Amino acid sequence: MQAASRLRSFPALCTALLLGVLAFSPSLMAQNSSSIEGVITDATGAAVGGATVTVRNTDTGITRTVKTDAAGRYSVTALGNGSYAISAVAANFSTTSLTGVKLDISQTLKEDIALTVGGASDQVSVEAAALSTETETSSNGQTLDQKSVAELPLANRQFYNLVEVAPGVVPPAQASSMGFRGGMNINGAPETTNLFVVNGTWNIDMGTNQDSFRPSVDTIAEFKVLSGNYSAEYGRLQGGQILITTKQGSNKLHGSIYEFIRNGAIEAKPWSSSVQTVTPAFKQNTFGATLGAPILKDKAFVFVGYEGQRIRQQAVAVNQVPTTWTAAGCLPGTVQAYDPLTGTPLTRGNTGACAGAPGQGYDLTALSEWTGASAQLGRLMESLAYPNPNIATALNPTSGGFLAAATSDYNFSETRKETMDEVNSRVDYKMNDHNSFYESYNYFHDPSFEPSNSLCATRNMPNFGCFTNQTSQLANIGWIHIFPGSNLINDARAGFQRLVQPRVQEDNTTIGSKWPGFSGQLGQTAVANNYGLPSITVSGNYTTTGGQTNLPQDRWDDHFQFIDTLTWSHKSHTFKAGIDTLWTNTTEYEVSNGRGALTFNPATLASTNASSSCPKCGTTGDPIGDILLGFPSATSVTPSAPNIYNNYRSVDLFLLDDWKVRKNLTLNLGLRWEIDPPVVEKNGSMITFSPSSPNQLYPGASNQTVGFSNPNSAITTAKQTGNRSVYHGDYNNVAPRVGFAWQPFNNEKTVIKGAYGVFFTSPEMFNEFLSYSLGYPVRYAKTYAPAPVSASGQITLANPFPNDLPTPGSPYCVAGASTGCTTPNPSIAGCASPCGLIPVITSTEVDPKFATPYVQQWTLGVQRQLTRNTIFEALYFGNKGSKLSYGTAAVLNPNANPDADTLGQNYTQSTSATTGYTTYSAVGAAALQALRVYPQWGAIGIHKTGFNSFYHSLQSRVQTSTKNGTSILVSYTYAKAEDELTSAQNPINQHGDKGLSVFNVKHRLVVSPVVPLPFGKGQPWLNNGLGSAIFGGFQLSGIWQYFGGRPFPITDSTNQSSSAGGGDRPDVIVGQNPNGYDSANASNIHNAKEWFNIHAFAYNPPGTYGTAAPNMLIGPGWDEVDLTFGRTFSVRDWAKVQFKVDAFNIANHPNLMNPSASFAGSPGYNPVKSATTGAYTYSTGFTSLAYPTQAGYCTTNTTTVANDGRAIGCTAPGSFGTITAANNMREIQASIHVSF
């Protein structure tokens, strides 16, 4: 692909030059903005001015020396995380040293030292506490050190899984598209609002706001989750800031060699609500090595690491496919088939294509259509789209013939192959006491074949997977300059990131050559890497097959970031001022539905012809029969676009003051200004729907009115706006931050903290605005509905798009008219008869005043040091999101909205004279289309800001760390997250759709211990001799997660409201509790067969919105224990060998997924609302209201029932309310790890 070819000539010259300039230089690790400060006193508590304080990194030997001021204060800023020793000395006092000082990422650590009278040569040594309260900062966060990262169980060796042990963090929701690549929700923020920072600069995929590079666990020194109210030097996204520092070299040679192995053969079988026939095979090998070494003692150090991962994972599924007889032209079964051209019923028999079949069928080869161009395409397409069945076709056990609806099964089994390699390197160099540098370079390469993956559609069919190949590179450099003779420090950082990510369909090569010129046959121009079948959706139980509509894709993103921070410590103030700039460019090659999408649904074709002169025409009555003869029920296509080039530039300014007001009170003050210009397309090719603007594509077109003559004239381009974008930037994003840390008892054991701040969120800069760039010059999504066979413009495979957009200035008829517009349309001047079938065109409008979303955060809490090594914290954290963005948040069709003033004239009403109860009849499709403000168009989405979110929580944690290696973190969160973005149904009243967020979790408890067993060297028992040799070195660690279920909505795709805005939510029946007891079924709920009360819902009456609230149902909770058992052996005191076994979900507890919640009201299941009383009653026809009331069961009375209560011969039970899947069951990982 284009980006892949460019990768071979990777122009990393700029990066190489930057790294080369500093090849003999890098760092004090100041890129993490940590600091140590405190007060030097004498034994009486009096301040000691002029004392010399030296801070030394015990691994590298690098030192910093400062003097205390008259008040005895000292401050050493621009430090990196690590182990330190602090020494202080003054005239007439002994030298006092504080050892074992642990400094975390982005931490301001307070260490006061009391001097004793004596000579400078006298030495007093004190050991620092393992944990201490945060007395100098009001921000919220959680640090995980190197030991926790290395010892806690990680199933896929991905560090971001450990973020979830922190308070306020919840794993991604079930339907999350980010879950498999690091998505998480932090303090009520969407998963796309977290920022990943590696060694001081961004590590982010600007398309999804997720990390683009994941450092190997063995190369991570420490990471910290800043979860809220962080200082003004951090911004751009409202969620968590995940700060990562990689390991560096030291004065001692050190490193590691390791391998982690997983094999599905020793893991538990997947949970299934049905009989599990196949256990997927799985193998994963993760291996690597690291090495850290000195270059110049106490001055220069290097660290390198490599990690590889190989995954072979079987994807399995059982799909319904056509029988071999069907593919040959014989429709088996007893369902009546017809000649689609004449409507003549066909006769069942065993002749022609049905000769030799086990039962009688309908021979399509005898029809005249069989030799036509559409049928020839249809037969070839069917043969390529569906494999031959490999499971015997089920036959009638009595007659040996076909069943009523005969299909076959195909056992799909293919292997997912992923081959990942990554390299990490870092160099640190202290040139002199005033200049230090660092540089790091990270390379990540991850090609894979995905037979079934959400990124390239879950077809679960041969030939329809995809190939993806991500290559990420991240390079950053830093320079710290300490101005001589002052407390002024400058920290400059630069980072360069490149992400290349092509994806292409498997059938581009496997089928493309067998289907020559198919894009041309669909009337579209063929484009590179997009050869193969269209997307094929078939009604009934047949599997969706064919190509993916979202591929091919090819991204090439370059990001350059420069940050400069100036720090000045003066008396009781520490000031910071800085600039944070970002330049980002992306080249995107994306073909969205370029091959086209075809639907085969006999019911749609039958309803289209029902009122025509040939009511049985248009379909064979069987979807595969319609494929074989080439009669789709709907088609759609989006013309392809060339490469797009989106650019984004931003400049942020920030100012901070950490003010020590009193000895026991610190104020954290900050201000950040985020200048947020619009995303622009290099060539000015962005478009938007703007009917009030003059037209750029067709300059002769007039401005728009309700009856404009050509839809193209509603398009405005960025060229027309003059600024290469279709919306304005937002330049007034000023974010104040204020917080305090107060020690009410004048000691460090108790700290009360509070803060308030404003945090802006940049959009998903390219995904969120991609569609506008893809639309140029006229890239409309066109959908064609069927017309009666007697009308001109009937869609067939030979002519899938019978009419395109009219030429500029020509009369234009109402789109998608069901009659094919055989009569003039009086609402459009000049609409002549006949006009044929024309496509429904959709588009999206971006609000030209698109604002930057922001969140206000506030918190109040207390920290208490319970013991020398144990900290307790409890806090309230809340936030409110404003101006949040939502793509296609509304549909411009106010005339058809039930809440609009015109409701009464658009619906047929029937009012009971007795009760006054009014019902409405639904508005037909043609009438709905005519009601649109712009009837020549389909749905017009609006991409805008203006939505709100709300989050309140109580968070607590207990953390302990001891000298013998024990560390335990217990975190608990009680929270409620709400928003107006989920399951919205009424664009006129968006605030009325407030409900629980999909990621809301009410209770969440996480316990993560690392506990060496109390035997062996350094432990209290059996610490020498034979006992130590036998029982020493054992360790247990683990993560226990327990949390409540997440909310989910009840959905209904029937659009009872006739709002033309998509599906509605149904009504909740009065007296029924959706989450409670099922009175109609006389059964309890919250089991896999019926998770919620399926009888609590009914269709909302036509012309009204449903009463069901957004996300009103709560799904299953989560209870999982991951446990690691290991033993470490020492080898001659210079190396350690560790053997570990990790058991994920060791109890093999099924953590169920959310149930199916797609409402389907079939007779006998959906209650009927009386027009006279308003009461609901169930329709008759069932012997029981138990299982038979579920969707998909028979609707006729019977006395013969199967064991599960449904009639013999009925279809399988419907899925409404049932759970069919669970998360992973027990998994085992074994490893060996050698460190030296």
Residue 742 located in a structural domain: no
My answer on whether 425 and 490 are in the same domain is yes
Residue 758 located in a structural domain: no
Q: Give the pLDDT score at 642.
A: 62
Q: In which band, very low, low, confident or very high, does the pLDDT at 16 lie, cut at 50, 70 and 90?
A: very low
| Total Cβ atoms within 10 A of residue 796 | 22
Q: What is the mean pLDDT of residues 112-125?
A: 82
Q: What is the pLDDT of residues 575-615, one digit of tens each?
A: 999 999 999 888 888 777 888 889 999 988 888 777 777 88
Residue 90 located in a structural domain: yes
Residue 1027 located in a structural domain: no
Cα separation, 585 vs 560, in Å, equals: 9
My answer on whether 553 and 612 are in the same domain is no
Q: Give the pLDDT score at 706.
A: 30
Domain termination site, one of 127, 147, 178? 127
Cα separation, 1144 vs 1229, in Å, equals: 8
Least confident residue range of 418-422, 613-617, 678-682, 825-829 = 825-829
Q: Give the pLDDT score at 1185.
A: 28
Cα separation, 495 vs 441, in Å, equals: 10
| β-pair type (34-41, 113-114) | parallel
**Domain that includes residue 1183, residue range:** 1066-1096+1160-1215
Do you find a cis peptide bond into 484, omega within 30 degrees of 0? no
Here the tokens at position 727 are 């919306």
In the chain, how many domains are there?
Answer: 4
My answer on whether 542 and 459 are in the same domain is yes
Q: Give the pLDDT score at 1194.
A: 35
Q: In which band, very low, low, confident or very high, does the pLDDT at 29 lie, cut at 50, 70 and 90?
A: very low
Q: In which band, very low, low, confident or very high, does the pLDDT at 932 lie, cut at 50, 70 and 90?
A: low
My answer on whether 421 and 458 are in the same domain is yes
Here the tokens at position 85 are 């020793």
Domain termination site, one of 101, 127, 153? 127
Instruction: With beta carbons less than 8 A apart as the criterion, state whether 1066 and 1097 touch.
Output: yes
Task: State the burial class of residue 872 (Cβ atoms within 10 Å of its Cβ: 0-12, 13-18, 19+).
Answer: middle
Q: Side chain identity at 485, as an amino acid letter?
A: G
Instruction: With beta carbons less than 8 A apart as the criterion, state whether 425 and 444 touch.
Output: no
Residue 254 located in a structural domain: no
The CA–CA distances, whole Å, from 995 to 941, 1000, 1079, 1108, 1109 equal 22, 10, 26, 10, 7
Cα separation, 962 vs 984, in Å, equals: 51
Q: Give the pLDDT score at 1020.
A: 85
Q: Give the pLDDT score at 1071.
A: 75
Task: Pick the more confident residue, 251 or 398.
Answer: 251
pLDDT > 90: percent of the chain: 40
Q: In which band, very low, low, confident or very high, does the pLDDT at 1017 lie, cut at 50, 70 and 90?
A: confident
Residue 450 located in a structural domain: yes
Query: With 50 as the cut, is the pLDDT of residue 824 above it?
Result: no
Q: In which band, very low, low, confident or very high, does the pLDDT at 689 lie, cut at 50, 70 and 90?
A: confident
Cα separation, 965 vs 945, in Å, equals: 50
Q: What is the pLDDT of residues 1048-1076, one digit of tens each?
A: 988 877 777 776 556 678 888 777 788 87
My answer on whether 349 and 438 are in the same domain is no
Query: With 50 as the cut, is the pLDDT of residue 739 above it?
Result: yes
My answer on whether 486 and 346 are in the same domain is no
Cα separation, 516 vs 532, in Å, equals: 8
Q: Give the pLDDT score at 508.
A: 86
My answer on whether 315 and 353 are in the same domain is no
Q: What is the pLDDT of residues 432-444, one digit of tens each?
A: 999 999 999 999 9
Q: In which band, very low, low, confident or very high, does the pLDDT at 126 lie, cut at 50, 70 and 90?
A: confident
| β-pair type (1227-1235, 1135-1144) | antiparallel
My answer on whether 502 and 561 are in the same domain is yes
Q: Where are the alpha helices (DSSP H) in 513-669?
A: 518-521, 602-609, 623-629
Residue 526 located in a structural domain: yes
My answer on whether 470 and 615 are in the same domain is no
Q: What is the mean pLDDT of residues 719-724?
A: 68
Which residues lie across from 565 on neighbouring strands?
Answer: 491, 578
CATH number at residue 123: 2.60.40.1120
My answer on whether 306 and 354 are in the same domain is no
Cα separation, 736 vs 485, in Å, equals: 32
Q: Give the pLDDT score at 704.
A: 32
Least confident residue range of 334-338, 887-891, 1146-1150 = 887-891
Here the tokens at position 1118 are 């989560």
My answer on whether 385 and 463 are in the same domain is no
Q: What is the mean pLDDT of residues 284-294?
A: 96
For the chain, the average pLDDT equals 79
Q: Give the pLDDT score at 1085.
A: 75
pLDDT > 70: percent of the chain: 75
Do you find a cis peptide bond into 834, omega within 30 degrees of 0? yes
pTM: 0.85
Query: With 70 as the cut, is the pLDDT of residue 899 above it?
Result: no
Residue 4 located in a structural domain: no
My answer on whether 353 and 470 are in the same domain is no
